[in-house]
């Protein structure tokens, strides 16, 4: 399973080194040196892992981390901060922003490879959370006192795509009820609308799945359950 990694640093040599090492592990690596553009990218595209410099012109890694954590698509992704400062205050500030792991500059290829191996499990878990499998079923939806019926087009551990919006808007919470193959009871939970896609589709994320429900969906997506 290929991992998509974003690397943000204003030092071109660092970008080259990280790309070289991570591509050896089969990753798709996106590199960017402009911190301001990186902030926009974090809100538009999803990644399985992010490496970023602590201090860059135009922005810093702490602010970018907060920005990533505020998005529905990258809020759970493992984030590695690349920094020459390994003092307690820097680490405290980083963990408060949402940093997962620190890697001190300068670092070697071997240290980068060790960091990748340490983070590979969490990054794969994040990728699986966003993996979607085609899934068609009727979905009963409720917004306040208003009810409507939609149909699902795909499903994943993190959410699903609905074929009809019922007039719902981005950011709204919807109570949904649907059946899952071989799961003994209806899945009744809450979702939040992430975006609206043409012609009238809703991309939603699960917000209150129980462990049992999440496990059933994960089993379906990973192929343990066949429709």
Asked if 168 and 122 sit in the same domain, the reply is: no
Residue 184 backbone dihedrals phi, psi, to 5 degrees: -70, -15
Asked if 32 and 114 sit in the same domain, the reply is: yes
Asked if the structure places residue 227 within a domain, the reply is no
Asked if 62 and 163 sit in the same domain, the reply is: no
Asked if the structure places residue 188 within a domain, the reply is yes
Global pTM reads 0.68
Asked if 126 and 140 sit in the same domain, the reply is: no
> Quick one: pLDDT at residue 65?
96
Asked if 124 and 137 sit in the same domain, the reply is: no
Asked if the structure places residue 226 within a domain, the reply is no
The CATH number that applies at residue 21 is: 3.40.50.2300
Query: 3-state SS of the chain?
Result: CCCEEEEECCCHHHHHHHHHHHHHCCCEEEEECCHHHHHHHHHHCCCCEEEEECEECCEEHHHHHHHHHCCCCCCCCCEEEEECCCCHHHHHHHHHHCCCEEEECCCCHHHHHHHHHHHHHHHHHHHHHHCCEEEEEEEEEEECCEEEEEEEEEECCCEEEECCCCCCCCCCEEEEEECCCCCCCCEEEEEEEEEEECCCEEEEEECCCCHHHHHHHHHHHCCCCCC
> Quick one: pLDDT at residue 226?
41
> Quick one: pLDDT at residue 219?
84
Asked if 69 and 177 sit in the same domain, the reply is: no
Asked if 165 and 196 sit in the same domain, the reply is: yes
The domain boundary, picked from 85, 105, 130, lies at: 130
Residue 134 burial (CB count, 10 A): 10
Asked if 121 and 59 sit in the same domain, the reply is: yes
Asked if 167 and 119 sit in the same domain, the reply is: no
The domain boundary, picked from 87, 105, 130, lies at: 130
**What stretches in the chain show pLDDT beneath 50?**
224-227
The CATH number that applies at residue 205 is: 2.40.10.220
Asked if 143 and 173 sit in the same domain, the reply is: yes
Asked if 191 and 161 sit in the same domain, the reply is: yes
Asked if the structure places residue 183 within a domain, the reply is yes
Asked if the structure places residue 39 within a domain, the reply is yes
> Quick one: pLDDT at residue 38?
94
> Quick one: pLDDT at residue 1?
61
Please, which residues bridge with residue 154 across strands?
134, 161
Residue 20's domain spans which residues?
4-130
The domain boundary, picked from 80, 112, 130, lies at: 130
How many folded domains does the chain comprise? Answer: 2
Asked if 122 and 164 sit in the same domain, the reply is: no
């Amino acid at each position: 399973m290929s991992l998509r990694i974003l690397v943000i640093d204003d030092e071109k040599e660092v970008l080259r080194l990280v790309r070289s090492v991570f591509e050896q592990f089969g990753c798709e690596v996106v590199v960017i040196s402009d911190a301001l553009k990186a902030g926009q990218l974090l809100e538009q595209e999803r990644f399985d892992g992010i490496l970023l410099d602590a201090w860059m012109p135009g922005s810093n890694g702490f602010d970018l981390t907060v920005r990533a954590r505020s998005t529905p698509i990258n809020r759970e992704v493992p984030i590695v901060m690349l920094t020459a400062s390994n003092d307690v205050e820097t680490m405290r500030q980083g963990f408060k922003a949402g940093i997962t792991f620190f890697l001190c500059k300068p670092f070697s290829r071997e240290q980068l490879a060790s960091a990748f191996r340490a983070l590979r499990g969490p990054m794969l878990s994040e990728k699986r959370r966003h993996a979607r499998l085609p899934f068609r079923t009727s979905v009963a939806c409720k917004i306040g006192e208003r009810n409507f019926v939609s149909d699902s087009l795909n499903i994943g551990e993190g959410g699903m795509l609905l074929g009809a919006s019922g007039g719902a808007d981005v950011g709204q919470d919807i109570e949904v009820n649907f059946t899952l193959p071989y799961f003994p009871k209806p899945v009744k939970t809450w979702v939040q609308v992430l975006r609206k896609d043409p012609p009238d589709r809703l991309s939603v994320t699960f917000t209150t799945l129980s462990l049992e429900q999440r496990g059933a969906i994960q089993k379906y997506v990973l192929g343990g359950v066949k429709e």
